[in-house]
A = this chain, B = another copy of it.
Amino acid sequence: MKYAKPLNNLINQLSKLPGIGEKTAQRLAFHILSMEEKDALAIADSIVNAKRTMKYCSICGNLTDEDPCLICTDSTRDKSAICVVESPRDVAAMERIKEYRGLYHVLHGAISPMEGIGPEDINLKSLIVRLQQNEVEEVILATNPNIEGEATAMYIARLIKPSGIKTSRIAHGIPIGGDIEYADEITLSKAIEGRRVL
């Protein structure tokens, strides 16, 4: 069925979101149209409001509504460590475990020669500036365990080396609850390579 134009437009817009196909977009659109007007408008408002007020922290690059962000200005956090991640979602994931108490640096991407993304295209220069200004003792490289993330980690480690600041890479191996039988070869070889004496 060809839907009425405003409904069609809503379905199209919703299906641009990740993981939302045509069918799901239709279901969501009909649901939105069946909602109370104020509830539907609240969704639209929350998009406009979040988009208008959220920005990137000028120090670490994380998503925030205040600049500098609450992590950078938190005096209880350990300023001797910076955890380097690819995206704000990675910061959220790290914060959820409530274990790491240092600072972050968000690269907003990873080096990828295949896609023409070089070191100058990610938020890297400001990391080097931070390392020169602050008393950072360790840089934890928590980029993703794929080709781009590994290359980025290697590149940053080499870049930092002359400064004498310690760099570390998060461990790769079999995830807890995972099955050795079903682990891919690269993960398994990383797990053996990174074995620890008990």
Contact = CB atoms under 8 A, between A and B. Distances in A.
Interface of A: 1, 3-7, 9-10, 12-14, 16-20, 24, 26-33, 35, 37, 39-51, 53-54, 63-66, 70, 87-89, 91-92, 95-96
A63 to B, nearest CB: 6
B41 A4 contact: no
A54 to B, nearest CB: 5
B43 A13 contact: yes
- Secondary structure at the A interface, as helix, strand, loop or mixed, is helix
Contacts of A16: 39, 43
A95 B54 contact: no
* List of 3 A-B pairs having minimum Cβ-Cβ separation, nearest first: A1-B95, A13-B46, A10-B50
A32 B50 contact: yes
Contacts of A42: 13
A82 B170 CA distance: 65
Given A6-B53, A16-B39, 5 more contacts: A7-B50, A13-B47, A18-B31, A30-B89, A41-B47
A50 B33 contact: yes
Contacts of A27: 18-19, 89
B50 A29 contact: yes
Given A46-B13, A88-B30, A4 B64 contact: yes
A54 B4 contact: yes
B47 A51 contact: no
